[in-house]
A and B are shown apart, each in its own frame.
Chain A
Amino acid sequence: MKQLLYAELLKIVKQSKTYYALAAIAVIELLIFITAYYQGSTILDLLLNTLRQNFYFEGSLLNGNLIMYIVLNSLWFNVPLILMIVTSGLLTDEHKDGTLQTVMLQAVKKWKFILAKYIMAALFTLLVIAFMALTTFALAYAIFGTGDLVVYIGTLNFFEAKEAFNRICWAFASGSIAMVFYSTVSITLAIFIKEASKTWIASALFLIITNLLLKADFLPAALNSFFFPKLIDTWQQLFNYKVDWPQVGINNCMLLLYSVAFAGLGMFIFQKKDIG
């Protein structure tokens, strides 16, 4: 198993797609920084316009914490899409290059082979989120400094700098579980579809549907809260003024269980399917 994991790690390090993904995330961050630098004050003015009629503001809300929160919002679509493309490539590339047959001719168990892919996809995802968090923290604080964070989730919530930093750290941790879920799904889709471009389309479709279902309520309330699209926003619940920690914990555990279930389904199908 160790050797399989090492082989997968080598593939990730060697393939150019990995660096394209990191570069894409860096570009997204950079664009957010540039927009915030030039339009940050205008955006905040728009957000706090109603309050200006009644209040004077002392201090600035355009700071590193706000930038990090905006960067966190790329977890909704941009980052999972990039991650799904790269991680599904772990399997689709093997199909395309015909290396899958070569590997299967060796004394390698199918389930171990695919499990190594799932594990490596999860590790790669965590690495990307860590890279994203670290670069954002460093740049945001260096350029914009620290300060209070304002977020609108039902009410306009203000957090002091230290509290904001803690919540952003927790949000990155919770968001990384959601990203692991997407990566797992993309490999499962790759098992079904095999072809790279079709897997990408299916992954994008899955992402869009999940985002759409987040707002739809057609299941009974008891079931609704355990439906996976409803768990994707758990990281954002950390910006409610009073955090429901047990609920955040349950949601993240549920999301991990969904990831395991999708991986289990993928492994079962891979085990049953003929390689070809």
Chain B
Amino acid sequence: MKGWFLIGQSVAASCDSPLERGGGVCPSIVQATFAKHTPANALPYAPPLKRGLGTALFVLFIALLTTSSLYAQKVDADLLHIKQRMDSVAKFTATVTLDLDVPFIQMPTKKAQVSYTKGKRMQFTSKDFVMLPKRGLDFSLSEIFKYPFITVDRGTEKHNGKTLKVLNVIPTDAKSDLVLVTLYMDAKAARIMESEINTRKDGSYSLLMQYAAAKDILPDYVEASFAIERLKIPFNFMGKDTKIDRKKMRGMDTKTGKIKMKMSDYKIALI
């Protein structure tokens, strides 16, 4: 288990941020995995046949050890406590004030109504035209808890003066769209403050959550950051005097967008 943990750490160090990786597999993971299976790793003094048998036995031993460790893996107690708190929310409604912060989009602040019922997707309604991110709206974190998962404790980190517990959540069911989730938890308040989420289909995104009061289960402010491809506008739709700066356009291939959601008028029904 420790070996796996170390690989995970080296990946985090050698790859850029999850947003820049765009949710793809970091090449260093592939490299690290394959590096363990090359003959170069075998002992130089062993005869070729024995060296192969030795390697096979070693791999079998490691596999047995790893499997038994995985079965013995327990889900983090703090996360379970947070999950229990989240599970107590049967449904809620709130007013959301949406502020979109994307370099090539100018949009006024919008308001929408959000409603959530346990086991269902969050619903948004608005009189105006609103753009809602495909990912990052799940601040009830039901998507994370939907399928079985294992957790890896990554210690603590200081964020904005607060010591947060860092946890990796890895879904063990292939049906889950999530690949790896890093949670930054306030263990004392039993709630998640930040998360970095890598998905199979929709890339990576991160969530920053703020709470109005110490007892609150749900955040009153959520900031979702995500990678967004530059806009490809057909020439017919461009303004007559729109100038095309190709150098600038090339530099804008992928940008980070943010949507800031401020919740108010919460009506929460607990189980």
Which residues of A are at the interface with B, using a C-beta cutoff of 8 A? 43, 46-47, 49-51, 53-61, 76, 147-148, 150-161, 163, 211, 214-215, 233, 236, 239, 241
Please tell me if B16 contacts chain A, counting CB pairs below 8 Å: no
Contact call A58/B242, Cβ cutoff below 8 A: no
| Given A50-B229, A53-B229, A236-B240; A147-B129 close (CB under 8 Å) | yes
Main secondary structure of the interface of A (DSSP, over half): mixed
Contact call B133/A58, Cβ cutoff below 8 A: no
Contact call A233/B232, Cβ cutoff below 8 A: no
A103 to chain B, nearest CB (A): 40
Closest to A46 in B: B234
- Tell me the complex Cα distance, A58–B129, Å: 6
Which residues of B are at the interface with A, using a C-beta cutoff of 8 A? 103-108, 112, 124-135, 226, 228-234, 237-243, 257
Residues in B neighbouring A239, C-beta threshold 8 A: 239
15 contacts between A and B (CB under 8 A): A46-B237, A50-B231, A50-B232, A53-B228, A54-B226, A56-B131, A56-B133, A58-B126, A153-B238, A157-B106, A158-B106, A214-B240, A215-B240, A215-B243, A236-B240
Residues in A neighbouring B105, C-beta threshold 8 A: 51, 155-156, 158
Q: Return the contact of B242 from the options A54, A152, A241 (Cβ within 8 A).
A: A152
B240 to chain A, nearest CB (A): 6
Contact call A236/B241, Cβ cutoff below 8 A: yes
Residues in B neighbouring A61, C-beta threshold 8 A: 129
Contact call B128/A160, Cβ cutoff below 8 A: yes
Contact call B108/A58, Cβ cutoff below 8 A: no
Contact call B106/A241, Cβ cutoff below 8 A: yes
Closest to B108 in A: A160
Known: A155-B103, A160-B128. 9 other contacts (CB 8 A): A47-B233, A50-B231, A58-B126, A58-B132, A59-B126, A61-B129, A148-B128, A156-B104, A158-B129
Residues in A neighbouring B129, C-beta threshold 8 A: 57-61, 147-148, 150, 158
Contact call A155/B104, Cβ cutoff below 8 A: yes
- Tell me the complex Cα distance, A233–B125, Å: 37
Residues in A neighbouring B242, C-beta threshold 8 A: 152-154
Residues in A neighbouring B107, C-beta threshold 8 A: 158
A56 to chain B, nearest CB (A): 5
- Tell me the complex Cα distance, A57–B105, Å: 14
Residues in B neighbouring A157, C-beta threshold 8 A: 106
B263 to chain A, nearest CB (A): 17
Contact call A55/B131, Cβ cutoff below 8 A: yes
Residues in A neighbouring B240, C-beta threshold 8 A: 76, 211, 214-215, 233, 236
- Tell me the complex Cα distance, A211–B107, Å: 30
Residues in A neighbouring B130, C-beta threshold 8 A: 57-59
B31 to chain A, nearest CB (A): 29
- Tell me the complex Cα distance, A271–B132, Å: 65
Contact call B106/A156, Cβ cutoff below 8 A: yes
Contact call A55/B233, Cβ cutoff below 8 A: no
Contact call A47/B237, Cβ cutoff below 8 A: yes
Closest to A233 in B: B241
Closest to A49 in B: B232
A161 to chain B, nearest CB (A): 8
- Tell me the complex Cα distance, A195–B22, Å: 65
Residues in B neighbouring A47, C-beta threshold 8 A: 233-234, 237
B201 to chain A, nearest CB (A): 10
A40 to chain B, nearest CB (A): 13
Residues in B neighbouring A55, C-beta threshold 8 A: 131-134
Residues in B neighbouring A161, C-beta threshold 8 A: 128
B211 to chain A, nearest CB (A): 26
Which of B132, B226, B231 has the most A CB atoms < 10 Å from its CB? Answer: B231
Residues in A neighbouring B232, C-beta threshold 8 A: 49-50
Contact call B239/A58, Cβ cutoff below 8 A: no
Residues in B neighbouring A154, C-beta threshold 8 A: 239, 242-243
Residues in A neighbouring B257, C-beta threshold 8 A: 54
| Given A58-B126, A158-B129; A153-B229 close (CB under 8 Å) | no
- Tell me the complex Cα distance, A55–B104, Å: 14
- Tell me the complex Cα distance, A233–B130, Å: 29
- Tell me the complex Cα distance, A59–B126, Å: 7
A70 to chain B, nearest CB (A): 10
Closest to A153 in B: B239
Closest to A73 in B: B240
A-B pairs, 9 with minimum CB distance? A59-B129, A241-B106, A153-B239, A148-B129, A158-B107, A55-B131, A58-B130, A56-B132, A233-B241
Closest to B126 in A: A58
- Tell me the complex Cα distance, A56–B126, Å: 12
Contact call B226/A58, Cβ cutoff below 8 A: no
Residues in A neighbouring B133, C-beta threshold 8 A: 54-56
Q: Return the contact of A159 from the options B108, B135, B237 (Cβ within 8 A).
A: B108
- Tell me the complex Cα distance, A152–B168, Å: 41
Contact call B131/A57, Cβ cutoff below 8 A: yes
- Tell me the complex Cα distance, A189–B130, Å: 50
B252 to chain A, nearest CB (A): 11
